[in-house]
Amino acid sequence: MPAEFGIVYPLWDYAADEGRFLERLVGEVPIDQVTVPVISGAWTAFRPVVGGDFPFFHTDGGWHYRPSSRPYGGGAIRPRKARWFSAGDQLAQLCTRPASLGVRLIARIDLRAVRSVIEDQPHVAQRTAWGQETPDSGACICNPDVREALRAVCEDLARYSPAGYELVNWAPDHDAGAAARDFAWDPDLARLMSTCFCAACRQVAGRAEIDVDQVARSVRVSIERRLESPPGTAALEADAAISAYRAARAADCAAWLRRLAEAEPERRRLLLRDLGSPPLESCAPWTHRVRLGRAPLAPRWSAALAAARECGGVSMPAWLPAVDGPDDLVRWVHESVQAGVSLIDFEGVTEAPATCLTWLRQAVRFARRG
């Protein structure tokens, strides 16, 4: 099966020029899909191509379309519309474009990055092994209210008839907050710090007959020992109890996602995780993809390619500083396709100069000939 290509295209960029850049891109670069962030956390961007006289953009995040109230009526988490737009429904307007351009639309959902979710419902926050809330780490996806909110989002978005949904970092213990930054120097320590022990996680593990209090003690002891270890110490040996605790919650999340997909089996389902984050177990029809981030890609390329090959899909940056020049982009896209990667999205296209289109055109066309 030949590889498919797409771009990440925010709604605010569509609103800035009424989709003219998208039409130009589709005319020059042979892409198959457009991934649109419909729910996100805070976002700041400089947009030289579509921004016109107002190239800087910022949003505090939220629902980037006009949510309907009905799907959320029975849940604790209510949608909060992003404040960057006041009139019109940009998503409804954009949805008329992809079909006419011969591409499909994928709705990207980053629900746990929305700060208002934690502010409105503090009980959905993740908790450490000490029982403390970590609100900047986002909501816990084992929480029933968070899951019900996602179900409501999918029902709400169905009226726009997207070709599929893409969930961002939808796995237990993902930490986008301070702990992830403070302990980035030691992945073992960072993962221990981010292991969630909220009431929902405890309940899921309890159903699997796991002694959660013992696991929490093991995590605390392991963290203390790791902090006492000198730099360069070998990686921590896997603790069986901690591993079982993580596996039980991951299996529960995967099973719930499979049930969610049964409501709309015809839509494509994608799980996007950051490079270095552990994936959920197999939960077809959901398929995994890895996002490479915008840090320089050259020193990370071997690991990035291995992760992309394993899951079959990748969302990669298309411009500086991640990519030094068109030769690198052409080579990396070609190597990804040769390695069996079947779906490649490009990030940051609207935040790059117009020259980026030339880079993309070369990379995609060369890979298609490949």
At 101-145, the pLDDT tens digits run: 899 999 999 999 999 999 999 999 999 999 999 888 899 999 999
Helix axes 199-207, 240-261, angle to 10 degrees: 100
Return the higher-pLDDT residue of 1 and 348: 348
- Contact predicate 205/140, CB 8 Å: no
> Measured between alpha carbons, how far is 43 from 123 in angstroms, rounded to an integer?
25
pLDDT of amino acid 178: 61
The per-residue pLDDT for 347 is 97
Residue 45 has what pLDDT? Answer: 95
pLDDT above 80 (res 54): yes
Residue 176: pLDDT over 90 = no
Residue 232: predicted pLDDT? 65
Q: Does the pLDDT of residue 316 top 90, yes or no?
A: yes
What is the pLDDT confidence band of residue 177, given thresholds at 50, 70 and 90?
A: low
Q: What is the helix (H) or strand (E) element at residue 167, kind and residue range?
A: strand 164-168
**Beta carbons of 164 and 219 less than 8 angstroms apart:** no
Percent share of the chain, pLDDT over 90:
81
Instruction: Find the range with the poorest average confidence among 63-67, 146-150, 153-157, 280-284.
Output: 280-284
In this predicted structure, what is the pLDDT of residue 188? 83
- Are the C-beta atoms of residues 283 and 315 closer than 8 Å to each other? no
Binned at pLDDT 50, 70 and 90, residue 244 comes out as very high
**pLDDT at residue 235 is higher than 80:** no
With beta carbons less than 8 A apart as the criterion, state whether 253 and 142 touch: yes
Give the torsion through C-alpha atoms of 196, 201, 202, 205, to 10 deg: -110
CA distance 142 to 119: 18
- Sequence-separated contacts (24+) of 263-270 with Cβ below 8 Å: 263/151, 263/154, 263/155, 264/154, 264/158, 267/162, 267/163, 267/164, 267/165, 268/104, 268/106, 268/163, 268/164, 268/165, 269/164, 269/165, 270/106, 270/164, 270/165, 270/166, 270/167, 270/313, 270/343
Does the structure show a pLDDT above 70 at 214?
A: yes
Q: What per-residue confidence (pLDDT) applies to 179?
A: 62
> Residue 21: its pLDDT value, please?
95
CATH of 4-173+250-369, one of 3.90.79.10, 3.40.190.290, 3.20.20.80, 3.90.1170.50: 3.20.20.80
8 Å CB contact between 126 and 140: yes
How large a percentage of the chain has pLDDT more than 70?
Answer: 96
Q: Measured between alpha carbons, how far is 339 from 302 in angstroms, rounded to an integer? A: 12
Q: Is the pLDDT of residue 275 over 70?
A: yes
**Confidence (pLDDT) at 22:** 95
Return d(Cα 7, Cα 349) in angstroms, integer. 7
Contact between residue 110 and residue 39 where contact means Cβ atoms under 8 Å apart:
yes
Alpha helices (H) in 33-87, listed in sequence order: none
pTM for this prediction: 0.95
Are the C-beta atoms of residues 314 and 345 closer than 8 Å to each other?
A: yes
pLDDT over 70 at 1, yes or no: no
Confidence of residue 279 (pLDDT cuts 50, 70, 90): confident
Query: Helix 187-194 vs helix 212-228: angle between axes, to the nearest 10 degrees?
Result: 150
Q: What pLDDT was estimated at residue 226?
A: 86
For the cut 80, the answer to whether the pLDDT of residue 337 exceeds it is yes
Rounded Cα distance, 199 and 19, in Å: 45
The pLDDT, as a whole number, for residue 96 is: 85
pLDDT at 99 over 90: no
Rounded to an integer, what distance in angstroms lies between the CA atom of residue 46 and that of residue 42? 14
Residue 5: its pLDDT value, please?
98
